[in-house]
Amino acid sequence: MQYANETIRTLFEKHTIRKYLPDPVDRTALETIVQAGLRAPSSGGTQGPVLLVCEDRGTNLALGRLSKLLYDEGAYPVSSAQPSIADDDTIDDGFYGAPAMVHCFTPRDYRYSPFDGSMAAANMMIAAWSLGVGSCFVSRAERLFEVAWAREWARKQGVSDDWEGCFHLCLGYPSDDSWTPKPLYPNRLLWC
Ligand SMILES: Cc1cc2nc3c(=O)[nH]c(=O)nc-3n(C[C@H](O)[C@H](O)[C@H](O)COP(=O)(O)O)c2cc1C
């Protein structure tokens, strides 16, 4: 496919990575990714999302296992190339062994928080891909950070209880990426 420029290539080719090398994400790249998240649009310019970066393997594994325990949507096909916990029940780490995690928190009971968080997520995923870093958006953060020990951990890192979990973002270099573009479902684009 011909792309008008590298930004368009990134947008069209970026895809979810769940198979990561154990190598840490380059510090400059990681900093750029989270700075892109902080610069995402937000409702009324409120800049609600707070990002907590964690590269501690033990913490990432403990929280990833908790994320998997909270999963209650059953089995269904998501990806055979990059299997998710919905594809493979033997995966016990809902963060897929990613060496770096970004936890996004947004103001509690604020109607635009999910949108603001999603904007931050998209910016980070696009920035990551452009830098050769794979990512995976993980949900259930609002429930995970209501579990007492996880909330206490976030509190210790400086996250106010007035901010609730919005999403987690796994980051790492792909260990295997045999991607082919997915066909788009029909009837999703209307012109008048
Ligand atoms: C709102 C949302 C929630 C998601 N939750 C999860 C999740 O909990 N675990 C996971 O492995 N992937 C999750 N994903 C990633 C999707 O499964 C993935 O984006 C989708 O299958 C399309 O694949 P692609 O990103 O490679 O195009 C989520 C994505 C979105 C946008």
Closest ligand 1 atom number to CA of residue 85:
11
Closest ligand 1 atom number to CA of residue 96:
11
pLDDT value at 20 more than 90? yes
What CATH number does the domain containing 112 carry? 3.40.109.10
Average pLDDT, integer, range 38-48: 98
Residue 83 lies in a domain: no
Distance of CA 137 from the midpoint of ligand 1 (Å):
6
Residue 143 lies in a domain: yes
Instruction: Judge if the beta carbon of residue 15 lies within 6 A of ligand 1.
Output: yes
Closest ligand 1 atom number to CA of residue 78:
21
Predicted local confidence at residue 129, as pLDDT: 98
Instruction: Judge if the beta carbon of residue 138 lies within 6 A of ligand 1.
Output: yes
Average pLDDT, integer, range 96-107: 99
Residue showing tokens 């996004």: 104
pLDDT value at 1 more than 90? no
Residue 79 lies in a domain: no
Which residue has a Cα nearest atom 21 of ligand 1?
78
Q: pLDDT tens digits, residue range 79-93?
A: 999 999 999 999 999
Instruction: Judge if the beta carbon of residue 16 lies within 6 A of ligand 1.
Output: yes
Residue 181 lies in a domain: no
pLDDT value at 145 more than 90? yes
Average pLDDT, integer, range 129-142: 98
**Residue among 107, 110, 94, 112 at smallest CA distance from 168:** 94
Residue 10 lies in a domain: yes
* Count of structural domains, the chain: 1
Q: What is the dihedral of CA 107, 111, 116, 121, to 10 degrees?
A: 90
Residue 82 lies in a domain: no
Residue 182 lies in a domain: no
Instruction: Judge if the beta carbon of residue 84 lies within 6 A of ligand 1.
Output: yes
Instruction: Judge if the beta carbon of residue 112 lies within 6 A of ligand 1.
Output: no
What is the percent of the chain where pLDDT is above 90?
97
Closest ligand 1 atom number to CA of residue 179:
26
Residue 187 lies in a domain: no
More confident residue, 37 or 1: 37
Give the structural domain span for 110: 6-72+89-172
Q: pLDDT tens digits, residue range 162-186?
A: 999 999 999 999 999 998 998 999 9
